[in-house]
Amino acid sequence: MDSNIMQWRRVGTAMVVTGPSGAGKSTVCKPVLTSEPDLHFAVSCTTRTPRPGEQNGVEYFFLSQDEFKTRIQANAFFEYAEVHGHFYGTPRNEVEPFLAEGRDVLLDIDVQGARQFRQRIAGTAAGQAAVFVFIAPPSLAILEQRLRSRQTESEASLQRRLADARDEMTAWREYDYLVVNDQAETATEQLHAILIASRCRICQWE
């Protein structure tokens, strides 16, 4: 790096946060987003129905199956996957423009999506600057308690989520960081620390 550091441009960090349903990803991410007003949350698209209190364009962009498939054909997604019978995907325009401006982007996506995202950005400046964080529950028993407390799905659906969670938990070694969400406040502090540290890496500059 040249001694005149100020001539270099900072590349935005894509912080990819992943974990099984019920691990508490949203609970951990929200305080970080609140404390970092310039951190952009990449709003995903989904074909599932909104849960109570969810707003279109805030938690997700809620799309029909046909509209989602049309966007797939138009290559509008950075990554997408079918999970629990519903499609989820991250629009390119929720990520690329912000990284190009040097802004950090937080992506809350599943294991399949994280793998796709890693492949898509491999070899790019954004790929070098990306950080992958796995949020894990303290145990599968606690994960089940959290899912049941939602009271939003049938027993069959819940058992499917638990089975998927067991598979997803095996992927934690693919990530740069592991955060065990036992106490939400501690997990939030750890995630925030990862973001702050990522901004100081040499690969953040080009």
- Tell me if 121 is assigned to some domain: yes
Alpha helices in 36-88 (DSSP H): 65-73
Tokens of residue 194, six digits: 């990862």
Nearest in space to 100 (alpha carbons), one of 206, 194, 16, 2: 206
- Tell me if 81 is assigned to some domain: no
- Tell me if 53 is assigned to some domain: no
Answer yes or no: is pLDDT of 2 > 70: no
Per-residue exposure over 24-43, b if at least 16 CB sit within 10 Å of its own CB, e if not: bbeebbebbeeeeeebbbbb
**pTM for this model (two decimals):** 0.85
CATH no. for residue 153?
A: 3.40.50.300
Nearest in space to 88 (alpha carbons), one of 42, 131, 123, 122: 42
- Tell me if 69 is assigned to some domain: no
Range of the domain at 172: 5-42+102-204
Listed in sequence order, the residues at least 6 apart from 77 whose beta carbon sits closer than 8 Å to its beta carbon are 45, 71, 89, 90, 91, 92
- Tell me if 180 is assigned to some domain: yes
Distance CA 139, CA 141 (A): 5
What are 118-165's pLDDT values in tens digits? Answer: 998 888 767 777 999 999 998 888 887 877 777 667 777 778 878 888
Asked if residue 50 lies in contact with residue 62, where contact means CB atoms within 8 angstroms, the answer is yes
Distance CA 115, CA 4 (A): 37
Count of domains for the chain:
1
Question: Distance between the two ends of the chain, CA-based, in angstroms?
Answer: 9
- Tell me if 91 is assigned to some domain: no
- Tell me if 66 is assigned to some domain: no
What are 160-194's pLDDT values in tens digits? Answer: 878 888 889 999 999 999 999 999 999 999 999 99
Asked if residue 131 lies in contact with residue 198, where contact means CB atoms within 8 angstroms, the answer is yes
